[in-house]
Structure 1
C-alpha cells in the first residue's frame, strides 16, 4: 500500500476509564485534546517537537509513543515507512488517569490512516484492535476513537465496542492533582482475587451505570459505587480517595479516573453550574493546593483526522 499524503493533523480527546464499577470496560471521552501533526520525510530522520504536557520529558525519537503507533499501523497495512516530523501540542495531563497514553497511541494510528491510500484498511475496528494490543486493554482507546461513552471487551476474535448513551444533564468535572501515578503502580496494588459478594455487587452497579449515564442521571451516585479496585488503591493515592469519599458523602457521583490519581465527578447540570460545585468548594476550602478543577464536556466525536496544512 502506498502513501497518498505526506502530512496529516490529528485531534484526540482525553478519556476517563472505569467510571467506578466498569473496570477495564467502560470509558468516556472528554473535551480536552491533544493536537498532533505528522509529516512524512524523504529521509530516515525522526524529529519530535512537544509543547504543553510532557514537553521536555517524553522521548524525542523513535521511542515516542505516537511514532511507535504510527509505525505499528503502517506495518499492519503494508505501507512504506519513512522519516517523520512529529509536532505535538499536548493538553492531556500525563500520569493522571486521563488516557494520555491511549491518546498518543490512537493519534499515531489515526495519523497512519490519514497518510495511506486506503484509509479503510485502518477502520475504527482495526484501530481499536491495534490500540488494545499496544495498551493492553480497550477502555481508554475505545472512547478516544469513537467519542462519547463506550463499553469495550476483548474476545478470542478481537475487540468489541458498543456506544453508550450519555444524558445531556451529565456534566463531567475532572479534579486533577499535581502529582502523577503510573498505571503499573496503580495496578500493582490490586489483588488477584476478590470476594464473590464484591464481584456480584460490581456486576450490578456496572449494569446500573449504563442506565444512569443514558437515562437516569439521578442514579449516578449509586451506579458509580465500586468494590473492585478503588479501595485497594487507597494506599497509593490517599488524597484522591479522601476526595472521592468527601464528594460522595455530599451526594456527588465521584470516582477515580482510570488508574488515577485524578478524581472524576459525574455531576449533573443545574441552572447555575453543576451539583458538584459546592461540594468541591467545600472539600478544598480557600485553596486548591495544586489541584486543578476542570469542567469538561463530553467529547462526542472521538479522534479527528484532517489533511495537514
Structure 2
C-alpha cells in the first residue's frame, strides 16, 4: 500500500465508558477533544511536541502512544514506515476516566488511514480491531471512532460495534477531579466473581438503558443503576463514590465515568435547575472538582489530509 499524503490533522473526542450498567460495552462520545498534526519527514527521526494535557509527562518520540498506534496501523496496511513530526494539542484529562488513552490510539489509527493512498482499504472494522488490540476492549474506542453512543462487543469475528440512538433531550455533565486514577488500579479491585442476583440486575438495567437513551430519558435514574463494578471500586475513589451517591439521592443519574474518578451525570434540560443547585452544594473547584457540560459529540474522529506532491 502506497502513502498518498504526507500531512494529516486529526481530532478525536473524549469518551465516557460503561454509563453505569453497560460495563465494558457501552460508551458515549463527549465534546472534549485531542487534536494532532502529523507531518512525514524524509528521515527516520520521530519527534513529538505536546501542548495541554500530558505535556512534559508523555514520551516525545517513538514510544508515544499515538506514534505507536500510527506506525502499527501502517504496518497492518502494508504501508512503508517513515519518520515524522507530530504536534498534539490535548484537552482530554489524563487518568480521569474520559478515554484519553483510547483517544490517543484512535488518533494514531485514523492518522495512518489518512496517510494512505487509498484510505478506503482500511475499513471501520479493521480500525476498531486495531484500537481494541491496544486498549484491550472496545468500549471507549468505538464511540471515539464513531461518535454518539455505542454498544461494542468482541466475538468470533473480532470487536464490533453498533450505534445507539440518543434522545436529543439528554444532556451530559462531567465532574472532573484533580486527582488521577490508573485504570489498572480500578480494574484490580474488581472481584473474579459476583453474585448471580447482581449480574442479573445489572443486565436488566443495561437492556433498559438502550431504550431510555433513545426515547425515555425520564427513566435515566433507574436505567443507570449498577451492581457490577462501581461499588467494588469505591475504596479506591472514595470521593467519587460519595458524589455519585449524593447525586443519585437527589434523583440525578450519576455514574462513574469509565474507570473513574470522573463522574458522569446524564440529565435532561428540564433537570438543569435542579442539577445546578445540587452541584453548587456538592462540587467545589477549590476542593478540586470541575463541572463541565461539553455536549455529546455525534461525529467521532475526523481527519483532514494533504496529498503528497
Q: Give the TM-score band, short-chain normalised.
A: over 0.9
CA distances 1:217-270 after superposition (whole Å, capped 9, x unpaired)? 000000000000000001100000000000000000000000000000012113
TM-score normalised by structure 1 residue count:
0.97
Indicate conservation of the 8 Å contact 1:265/1:276, yes or no.
no
**Residue 217, structure 1, aligned to residue 213, structure 2:** no
Map 1:188-227 to 2 at 5 A. Answer: 188-227=188-227
Cα gap change, 1:274/1:308 in structure 2, threshold over 3 Å: closer, same or farther?
farther
CA distances 1:170-213 after superposition (whole Å, capped 9, x unpaired)? 10001000000000000000000000000000100000111111
- CA-CA distance at 1:308 after TM superposition: 5.0
1: CA distance between counterparts of 2:251 and 2:306? 46
Q: Return the match for 1:290 from 267, 285, 288.
A: 288
Indicate conservation of the 8 Å contact 1:171/1:274, yes or no.
no
- CA-CA distance at 1:307 after TM superposition: 2.0
SS at match of 2:23: strand
Indicate conservation of the 8 Å contact 1:175/1:294, yes or no.
yes
Map 1:232-251 to 2 at 5 A. Answer: 232-251=232-251
SS at match of 1:23: coil
SS at match of 1:96: coil
1: CA distance between counterparts of 2:58 and 2:121? 30
* Residue 183 of structure 1: aligned partner: 183
1: CA distance between counterparts of 2:286 and 2:220? 25
Give unmatched runs, 5+ long, in structure 1.
none
**Residue 53, structure 1, aligned to residue 46, structure 2:** no
Cα gap change, 1:287/1:2 in structure 2, threshold over 3 Å: closer, same or farther?
closer
Indicate conservation of the 8 Å contact 1:252/1:279, yes or no.
no
* Residue 301 of structure 2: aligned partner: 303
2: CA distance between counterparts of 1:308 and 1:50? 22
Map 1:88-237 to 2 at 5 A. Answer: 88-237=88-237
* Residue 78 of structure 1: aligned partner: 78
1: CA distance between counterparts of 2:79 and 2:236? 43
Cα gap change, 1:287/1:304 in structure 2, threshold over 3 Å: closer, same or farther?
closer
SS at match of 2:287: coil
- CA-CA distance at 1:139 after TM superposition: 0.2
- CA-CA distance at 1:274 after TM superposition: 5.5
Cα gap change, 1:92/1:163 in structure 2, threshold over 3 Å: closer, same or farther?
same
2: CA distance between counterparts of 1:73 and 1:287? 40
SS at match of 1:128: helix
Cα gap change, 1:78/1:240 in structure 2, threshold over 3 Å: closer, same or farther?
same
Cα gap change, 1:300/1:38 in structure 2, threshold over 3 Å: closer, same or farther?
same
Indicate conservation of the 8 Å contact 1:11/1:303, yes or no.
yes
SS at match of 1:76: helix
Cα gap change, 1:220/1:305 in structure 2, threshold over 3 Å: closer, same or farther?
same
SS at match of 1:103: helix
CA distances 1:132-169 after superposition (whole Å, capped 9, x unpaired)? 01100000000000000000000022111110011111
Q: How big is the alpha-carbon RMSD for the aligned residues of Structure 1 and Structure 2?
A: 1.2
Indicate conservation of the 8 Å contact 1:171/1:296, yes or no.
no
* Residue 18 of structure 2: aligned partner: 18
156-165 or 3-12: bigger deviation: 156-165
SS at match of 2:15: strand
2: CA distance between counterparts of 1:275 and 1:80? 56
After TM superposition, what 4+ stretches of structure 1 lie above 6 angstroms from structure 2?
Answer: none
SS at match of 2:197: helix
1: CA distance between counterparts of 2:110 and 2:16? 20
TM-score normalised by structure 2 residue count:
0.97
